A and B are shown apart, each in its own frame.
Chain A
Amino acid sequence: MRKYLAGVAEGNPAEPTDPAAKPTIRSLSRTEWALFGALLIGLVVLFALASPYFLSAGNMSNLFTTMALAGILAAPATFLMVAGQVDLSVGATAAICGVVLAGQAQGLGLAGSIVLSAAVGIVIGLTNGVLVAVLGIPSLAVTVGSLAMVRGLAYLLPSGQVVPIAGFGALGNARPLLNIPLPVLILVVVLVSAGIILRYTAIGRGTYRVGGRPALSRLHTVRAKVLVVGVFAASGAAAALVGMIITSQLSTAVPNVADGVELTVLTAVLLGGASLSGGRGTVAGTALALLILNVLDNGLSLLNVTSYWQQFASGALLLLALLIDRVRWYTRHRRWSRRANRAGAAEAAPAAGKGAPANTAANTEGEAANKPGDDARRPDPADDQPGRRAGITRYR
């Protein structure tokens, strides 16, 4: 019961004691899936009516090519969010990997520079992961720091200028299958693989388990640390791939590419059912949210809506995602509180019958819950205290 209540206080699922036990996969509810699906269909219909170009093959190709860049980053970002982490340095990492690729292509050859570029991305991810998992620094702080540092380096290496690269157009522009752009095919492979790994493998289960724990005890085991470091490395590798794709598309490495893509990724992951407090999210939810974001962006641009409004809409969606996350938390908390109250009352009844003192938190809440209109049925503001959210204060 105490462990169960600890989970309740955290707003997270109860921590299973058996490490082999399958954790609960939580993402969008059926209602949310239906709502988001309806929103997507509504947007598509609206833009199709408003612009004759929206449903054209060319525009669909544009839409998915643009989506591919954020989507490749969003797959590992979903793992990170499920594990209760965030990586805001992906855009900067993509930029520096592009710069390294183009800058070293002549010296090392194309293959060598691709390997080096990927290695740079992975090293940046590993560094972020080690700082988070081993030193215990919050991922938000670590990746904001690395964002600034890496973006600065991306400008510094080529003295703030752009680096042209020849003979590297295929990755970003080829259409090897059914005239579908290669980046879109890569996106499909990445999303499907990530979805399978997250849902059906030990890595995925471990990720949910790490994120489902209270924040302070998430990274107490070596296995959890290795997993988080690995996911950060995957995020770095994905960023490197995106950097290479953009460089290929432009035939040039530009230090300011992928600027702000981390916000798009964060919005997609949160809107897709993940939670900032970890333990929730699916790749399918992220993909649906990405599609909504890109349809909105593409449709607004076809309607000649200024990019400032598009930026506003993107920010509004991020806030909406956070709001939905909060509402989910409250809803879940209320449900767990009710269950706890019922369970507490059930335990208290036989205990009281034997004359034993009923002074546990559960019993107290259970008793309180029996009083009509009592505050015990509502989330306790004390649960939002940082220490309590982090798993320090669990009982009054």
Chain B
Amino acid sequence: MPSAYAGRVRPGTGRRPGRRMLSLVLATVLAGGTACTAVNPSPPETGQTSQTGPISTSPSSTPSGASTSTTTSTTNPSGDFGSDHFTPFRTTVPNSAEGRRIGLIGLDQANPYSKLVSESIKEQATIAGAALVYCDAENNAEVALRCARRLAAQGVDAWVTFQPVISAGQSICGAGPKDVPMISIDSTQGNCQSTRVGIDDQWAGFTLGTELGRFIQRRFDCQVGVVVYLVDPTDGFVHRRRATGAGIGLDTICPAATDRPPPVQLEASGQDAAFAAVGKALTSIDKGQRVLIVGANDGLTLGAVGAARAAGRLDDVYVGGIGADPRSYCEIAEDPHWVGDVASFPEKYGQLVMPYLVDLMAGKPVPANLFVRNEFIDASTIGEHYDVSDCEQTP
């Protein structure tokens, strides 16, 4: 029976910690106790989309190498993107959406990243003078569908959706408000989507891999014992794309680091599962061997650091992540083994969403993708973006 499900999945769902652990244990037991696989080097993914609609769906490349596909933005992560690939944050014009009602389906208020995104949009909606109707999807597509129905019943003038299951996007489109602009956050959401705001996952991974490569080149002459990619299988190809990008970036700077032994890919759904998976993996790596862990998001990276700390192996482990949400500020600022993070600035998403939503409501053309420019931040630069003055008190 499991084979019927293989390779037909889409990114996505969150799980409660207890159930996550239970299913992890079951998965580990039924899989013969192994939870890690060697990374199979594969070319960057292209054209993986099941969505159709008014926005471009074919992976046609721009001159800079960037795809305009809604799900595959990068075909050449090692190339330099032109400045037009990324969209700068904009200032929302005060009262530009006066009297308008904007619906927002938030991913999950319990998730710090999602909360920052939602708060940012709320803040910008207030500046624009729009009334915001918020509905929390609780990281559950079923709830997101109910939210979409509710927004349709409330007759909003435009809506924003940030929900976890891409393949449910079309159903959510069908249930949601009709004939009004819709902006999706991070992943595509079906044919009612006017544009998408988010990071270019493969580019973010490439940035992280490059910077980690530079770090180990500088410090250890590219000599590391093992490279571990830590991904969340429920985030599907989003995390695979980040891992792929990171692999290419690392290989670009330090090919020797990924030669031998081959990198390991650990799958873990969330911080607690990452803690367990990395803890187990460390037991099979000799003490004193340098381990470079590439986390596909901050939750996973924090789990890895926790596991290394608990195992007394922090001196051997170096990590980097993607997201730079508040959970990781102090680790980035204080922990010398946290090399750095690719920041996606979720607290500024509203500065893309709201101005472009206003444009859409005014009938102005808007690009199919609004990519946030990632930036690698480390202990020396995080203070330029975030207040980390309290971090010294953190034990």
Contacts and interface: CB of A to CB of B under 8 A. Distances in A.
Interface of A: 53, 56, 58-59, 61-62, 65-66, 99, 103-104, 106-107, 148, 151-153, 155-164, 169, 173, 246, 249-252, 254-259, 298, 301-302, 304, 306-308
Interface in B315-348: none
Contacts of B14: 256
Q: Which of B2, B13, B171 has the most CB of A within 10 A?
A: B13
Given A53-B153, A157-B1, A301-B135, A254 B13 contact: yes
Contact of A162 (B2, B13, B30): B13
B26 interface: yes
Contacts of B165: 162, 250, 252, 254
Contact of B142 (A163, A258, A298, A304): A258
A157 B170 contact: no
A245 to B, nearest CB: 10
Interface residues of B, number: 52
A161 B22 contact: no
Given A53-B154, A103-B4, A156-B30, A252 B23 contact: no
Contacts of B19: 148, 151-152, 155, 256
Contacts of A250: 141-142, 145, 165, 167-168, 171
B140 to A, nearest CB: 6
A306 B11 contact: no
B261 to A, nearest CB: 25
Contacts of B175: 249
B166 to A, nearest CB: 8
Contacts of B8: 103, 163-164
A62 B149 contact: yes
Contacts of A163: 5, 8-9
B168 A252 contact: yes
Interface in B337-373: none
Nearest to B165: A162
Given A103-B1, A106-B4, A256-B15, A251 B134 contact: no
B384 to A, nearest CB: 34
Contacts of A308: 109
B141 A162 contact: yes
Contact of A302 (B22, B150, B167): B150
A62 B234 CA distance: 29
Q: Tell me whether chain A's interface is mostly helix, strand or loop, or mixed.
A: helix
13 contacts: A62-B150, A103-B5, A151-B23, A155-B15, A155-B20, A159-B27, A160-B233, A162-B11, A162-B168, A173-B171, A249-B142, A251-B167, A302-B153
Contact of A256 (B22, B140, B167): B140
Contacts of B168: 162, 250-252, 254
B23 A65 contact: no
Contacts of A173: 171, 174
Interface string B188-204: 00000000000000000
Nearest to B144: A250
A161 B13 contact: yes
Contact of A306 (B2, B109, B141, B145): B109
A270 to B, nearest CB: 24
Q: Which of B5, B133, B141 has the most CB of A within 10 A?
A: B5
B4 A107 contact: yes
B25 to A, nearest CB: 8
B152 interface: yes
B146 interface: yes
A160 B2 CA distance: 11
Contact of A159 (B6, B133, B135, B150): B6
Contact of B13 (A106, A251, A255, A302): A255
Contacts of B1: 103-104, 157
Given A161-B12, A162-B10, A156 B146 contact: no
Given A58-B153, A254-B141, A148 B171 contact: no
Given A148-B19, A152-B26, A157 B2 contact: yes
A46 B170 CA distance: 34
